[in-house]
Amino acid sequence: MSLASARTLTHQNRVIKRARVVKTSTSSTVKQPTPSRRVQCAAANAEAKKSTISAHRWSTDVDAWVIEAQDCALEEGERLIVSVPATSANMGPGFDCFGFAVDVRNELIVERGSFGIDIEGEGKDELPRDETNAIYTAVKVGFEAARPGKTLPRDLRFTSVNRIPPARGLGSSSAALVSGLACGLALGGMDVEAPRTKQILLNLASDIEGHPDNVAPAIYGGFQISINDNNQWITQRVNCPTDVQSVLFVPKFQSLTSETRAQLPNELPMSTAVHNIARAGLLVNAFATGNLELLPYATQDMIHQPIRGKPFGLDALIDAALKAGAQGCFMSGAGPTVLAVVGGHGGSVENDTAGTYKASRVADAMLAASRANNVDGEVIIASPTETGVACFVEFA
Q: In sequence order, what DSSP letters do the residues of 239-277 get, joined into one string?
A: ---TT-EEEEEEESS---HHHHHTTS-S---HHHHHHHH
By the 8 A CB rule, do 145 and 201 touch?
Answer: no
Residues 217 and 85: beta-carbon distance below 8 Å: yes
- Sheet containing 328-331: order of strands: 328-331, 338-342, 245-251, 377-382
Work out the average pLDDT over 125-131: 93
pLDDT score for 176: 98
**Position 285 pLDDT exceeds 90:** yes
- Residue-level pLDDT at 356: 86
CATH of domain 245-382: 3.30.70.890
Query: What does the pLDDT average to over 23-40?
Result: 43
Question: Which tops the pLDDT comparison, 105 or 52?
Answer: 105
Selection from 102, 231, 223 nearest residue 165 by Cα = 102
What SS3 class is residue 376?
Answer: coil
Mean pLDDT of 2-16: 40
Give the tens place of pLDDT for each residue, 322-376. Answer: 999 999 999 999 999 999 999 866 556 666 677 888 999 999 999 999 999 999 9
Which of 58-67, 119-128, 333-342 is predicted with the least confidence, judged by mean pLDDT? 58-67
**Domain residue spans in the chain?**
3-238+386-395, 245-382
* CATH architecture, domain defined by 3-238+386-395: 2-Layer Sandwich (3.30)
Model-level pTM? 0.85
Q: Rounded mean pLDDT of 157-174?
A: 96
Q: How far is CA 102 from CA 165, 203, 328, in A?
A: 13, 22, 16
Is residue 14 scored above 60 in pLDDT? Answer: no
Q: Band of the pLDDT at 241, cuts 50, 70, 90? A: confident
Query: Is residue 161 scored above 80 in pLDDT?
Result: yes
Residue 18 has pLDDT above 90, yes or no: no
| Predicted local confidence at residue 60, as pLDDT | 57
310: which DSSP letter? G
Given a cut of 90, is residue 95 above it in pLDDT? yes
Least confident of 71-75, 110-114, 281-285, 379-383: 71-75
Strands 116-121 and 156-162: parallel
Strands (E) in the chain, as ranges, are 78-89, 98-112, 116-121, 156-162, 223-229, 232-238, 245-251, 328-331, 338-342, 377-382, 390-395
209 contacts: CB under 8 Å, gap ≥ 6: 42, 173, 174, 177, 215
